[in-house]
Amino acid sequence: MTDRHDHHDHNDSHRHEKPGMDLVSHHGDDDVCLNQVSFAYDGQFVVENVTLHAPHGTTLGIIGPNGSGKTTLLKLMLGLLRPNAGTITVLGMSPAQACARGDLVGYLPQRHELDWSFPISARQVVELGLVGRRGLLGRPSAADRRQAADQLAAVGLADQADVPIGELSGGQQQRVFLARALVSRPRVLFLDEPTTGVDVGAQENLQELLALVKEQLALTLIVVSHNLRAITSTCDQIACLNRTVHYHDKPSGLSREMLSRVFNCDVEYMLDPHGHERH
Amino acid sequence: MWNICWTRTGTSDIKAGKPAPKGEERVLDWHLYLHLMKFPLIVAPIMAAVCSLLSVFVVLRRMAMISEAVAHASLGGLALSLLLGYGWGFADSYWGQELIAGVFCITTGLLIGLFSRGREVTVDSAIGIFLVASVALGVLMLYIRRDLPGPNKMPLEPEAVLFGSINSVAAADAWLISILAALVFVVVLGMLPSFIYTTMDEEMARVHGVKTWLIHLLLLVMVSSIIAVAARMVGTLMINAMIILPGATARLVSRRFGGVMIISLVVGVLGVTAALLASIAVAVANVPFVRSAPTGPILVLTLFLIFLAIWFIRRVRLFFHRRQKGRLAAAQAEHV
């Protein structure tokens, strides 16, 4: 990993050079801010009046049952969808502006949303993470290739660099995509159900890897998951979402009553059997 | 080997399928024949190369049906130019036909994209709707134009539009396809990483700052333009095969993007050139029943046979590989 501070300064200088940035709603140390955000599909609200913030260097976990609007909210934060109401800022810019830079935002999507027979090697996948930064006509330089190789080595897959992506195991594929998300040295990393479809051993490896890169790169993490146990143990803040935000604070303040209301079911099985501290 | 002797006989007689005079062996001057076919022999490999390059993205992006609809739209475009040509000379000219057909194809491609953006009309429905509408419109306009009174007769028969004629391409076609092919190669190879990323995962490419809308638009415009130009040569029914088969074949062989691109180009160029030579050979050798067969179907069938052969070889290899794996597993289990 390269020195995070150098990169941070570099990004800051770029950020202030960029014209047309909306710095009004960028609250102090918050890297991601959502203010009264609503979004509807065909007139039906999927996300309504959501206000969230993620300070720099923290991990915000967004939990909720299936169909609660978690992935929609993530897509709004990534600029893939536009809100019907409210404002979203990522590092003081609109999500689309932040993504257009190519080196501020990282994203690890859900595992199953890809054609696994696509003819591409692990190394090439990681190199794709630098395409946006180079621009439409940019070619990968020797430094880019080295950076991609280093990133692949950092996730422990240096020896699998030339293996087609479809021939790797689920855990290895997730690590390749994590390397792609991190290769441009982003400042905010969005993760959508990062451990879904991955076996238990690989899940633990991935969690450890995430904790390590977060510390090394001083990342702000936004994690969307329905895995309550994993999220409560790793996040600094939690947001319980079921169309709107029911709770947004530290995990320690989360009660079983709140979870039952959000998930609309008995949440005993979601928590560890000795989870008395949750009360 | 082709059964051809090296003496002098009129090439036009052979092309017209006239039987050899009694007691005289059917022969021809190869030099003359190749001279007559020089433009097809230049145009066909160039057309194959550009179609094969786009084929990789069409197949991997699962756009085969969109290109099918655009290919059928070229019939509508050509018919429109012929209908307009009744009263407007430019529309009946070579460049007029190319321009109108090109605009018609590109508009159809963009309309499919526009209609399928919302949630009301799915992509497959939009493709189906525009495919049948453009064919219906094209056939209707062709027959209206053919039956219009007056001395200004239609320069093409409806069948010629459907099946095309690569043997009749001229210098203008060679120039047009060469310029278009050069542009496509420059655009695709110049922006290759963005094309690969958008093809693999459009959403992720957007998150990483790739202008995916531009890549999508460029691909649609390039495919539509090539189809509009090439459809005159191989026919609106056949052109789609050249846009799908090389990429689909290459995907069976390689698991690397570069490999898929190279194999697609090799399969397309060699397959089309071989088909054209075979077509010339059957005409020259005066093979009964097929000597006057249009080149388009021969070309498509050649590409199809290459695809089928590679698919078969792959299945056989996979079968033996699995059997060997099964035996190894059984041997290991026995050993334990």
pLDDT at residue B273 tops 80: yes
The 10s digit of each residue's pLDDT in B82-134 is 888 777 777 777 778 778 888 888 888 888 878 876 667 777 788 888 888 88
User: Quick one: pLDDT at residue A276?
Assistant: 41
Higher-scoring residue by pLDDT: B199, A11: B199
Output Rg (C-alpha) for chain B, integer angstroms.
23
Please report the pLDDT score of residue A266 as a whole number. 55
Average pLDDT value for residue range B200-224:
88
User: Which of B193, B206, B259 lies at the smallest CB-CB distance from A99?
Assistant: B206
* Distance in angstroms (rounded) separating the CA atoms of residues B238 and B162: 8
- Confidence band for A279, pLDDT divided at 50, 70 and 90: very low
pLDDT value of residue B29: 58
- Is residue A273 over pLDDT 60? no
Which domains are present in chain B? 25-335 (1.10.3470.10)
Mean pLDDT value of segment B161-180: 79
| Range scoring the smallest mean pLDDT among A79-88, A125-134, A158-167, B15-24 | B15-24
Is pLDDT at B250 greater than 50 in this prediction? yes
Q: Return the pLDDT at A197.
A: 67
What's the pLDDT at A18? 36
From residue A56, alpha-carbon distances to A5, A167, A220 in Å are 14, 37, 6
Cβ-nearest to A105 among B190, B207, B259: B207
Task: Please give the residue of chain A at the shortest CA–CA distance from B251.
Answer: A119
Distance in Å, alpha carbon of A181 to nearest chain B alpha carbon: 9
> What is the rounded distance in angstroms from the CA atom of residue B187 to the CA atom of residue B22?
57
Pairwise CA distance, residues B117 & B111, whole Å: 10
How many Cα atoms occupy the beta-carbon half-sphere of A124 within 13 Å? 19
Q: Which residues in chain A have their CB less than 8 angstroms from residue B189's CB?
A: none
**Partners of residue A78 in chain B, C-beta under 8 Å:** 207
User: Burial level of A133, CB count in 10 A (0-12/13-18/19+)?
Assistant: middle
Whether A274 maps to a domain, the answer reads no
Considering the domain boundaries, does residue A279 fall inside one? no
Looking up tokens 């490419």 gives B205
| Interchain CB distance below 8 Å, B206 and A79 | yes
| pLDDT given at position B158 | 62
Domain residue limits at A48: 4-267
- The stretch A217-226 carries a mean pLDDT of 85
Task: Please compute, for residue A175, the number of CA atoms within 13 A of its CA located in the half-sphere on the CB side.
Answer: 24
Q: What's the complex ipTM?
A: 0.77
pLDDT averaged over every residue in chain A: 77
**CATH code of the domain in which A148 resides:** 3.40.50.300
> If pLDDT is split at 50, 70 and 90, which confidence band does B265 have?
very high
Whether A22 maps to a domain, the answer reads: yes
What pLDDT score was predicted for residue B68?
79
From chain B, the residues in CB contact with A140 under 8 A are: 193
B209 to chain A: closest CA residue: A100
pLDDT score of A11:
41
Give the model's pLDDT for residue A69: 85
Q: Is residue A191 part of a domain?
A: yes
Interface contact B191-A124, CB threshold 8 A: no
Q: Do B206 and A101 touch (CB under 8 A)?
A: no
Q: Are A155 and A216 in contact (CB under 8 A)?
A: no
Contact between chains at A131 and B194 (C-beta distance less than 8 A) = yes
Each residue of B13-23: pLDDT tens digit?
545 555 555 54
Residue A26 pLDDT > 50:
no
**How confident is the model at residue A76, as a pLDDT?**
92
Judge whether A83 and A166 are in contact, CB under 8 Å. Answer: no
- What separation, in Å, do the N-terminal and C-terminal C-alpha atoms of chain A show? 40
Answer whether A100 sits within 8 Å of B209, measured CB to CB. Answer: yes
Residue B191's closest chain A neighbor by CA? A137
A106 falls within a domain: yes
- Written as six digits, the tokens of A172 are 């290895």
* Out of B119, B201, B206, closest to residue A42 by CB: B119
Q: Which of A119, A128, A166 sits opposite B260 (nearest CB)?
A: A119
How far does A41 lie from chain B, in Å, by closest CA?
Answer: 9
Q: Domain count of chain A?
A: 1
**Cα A11 to Cα A23: distance, rounded to the nearest angstrom:** 15
Average pLDDT, chain B: 80
For residue B166, give the amino acid letter.
I
Say whether A136 and B194 touch across the interface (CB within 8 A).
yes
Mean pLDDT of B245-249: 93
